[in-house]
Amino acid sequence: MIYLFTDGSSRGNPGPGGFGAILRYGQHEKELAQGYRRTTNNRMELLAVIRGLEAITNPALPVTVVTDSRYVVDAIEKKWVDGWLRKPDFGGKANEDLWRRIVPLLKLRKVEFKWIRGHNGHAENERCDVLAVASALGELGSLLVDAAYEKIGQK
């Protein structure tokens, strides 16, 4: 079992943002983080999960995603995203580019989602928050352009 802990942050919504993720498999652990110059919190929450899943090389291993994002968990677990995908305009929902990117990743392996309350003393969530905030502030490297967001002036 692989555990993927994630968090997203934006300093203003929209504003500079970042994500943090921790991949854990047994005793092995890898941290992922990246910042963007203009984005939203929900985009960073989604991107944390996407980048974490993309970093997993063995599709045979099941994954538990641990996140404080109700937006991500509910859209997947309650199958909202499936309904959005059936609509020609994606139901007018935001972040279509990222939802279309995550759905195939979820089909590659067994993925379960676990929601936790953020900022509640959960060690991995707190670490992901530190990574996300530091990334948003440009402390972990240059801020990238969230081209899809900036191009469409997201809703």
**17, 20, 35, 45: which one is catalytic?**
45
Residue 116 CA to residue 109 CA, distance in Å, equals: 22
Residue 113 CA to residue 100 CA, distance in Å, equals: 18
**96, 124, 129, 146: which one is catalytic?**
129
**119, 138, 139, 141: which one is catalytic?**
119
Question: Is residue 28 annotated as a catalytic residue, yes or no?
Answer: no
Question: Is residue 146 annotated as a catalytic residue, yes or no?
Answer: no
**8, 18, 35, 52: which one is catalytic?**
8
**17, 18, 20, 68: which one is catalytic?**
68
DSSP 34-90: EEEEEE-HHHHHHHHHHHHHHT---TTS-EEEEES-HHHHHHHHT-HHHHHHHSTTG
Q: What is the distance between the terminal CA atoms of the chain, rounded to a whole angstrom?
A: 36
Question: Is residue 45 annotated as a catalytic residue, yes or no?
Answer: yes
Please list the active-site residues: 7-8, 45, 68, 119, 129
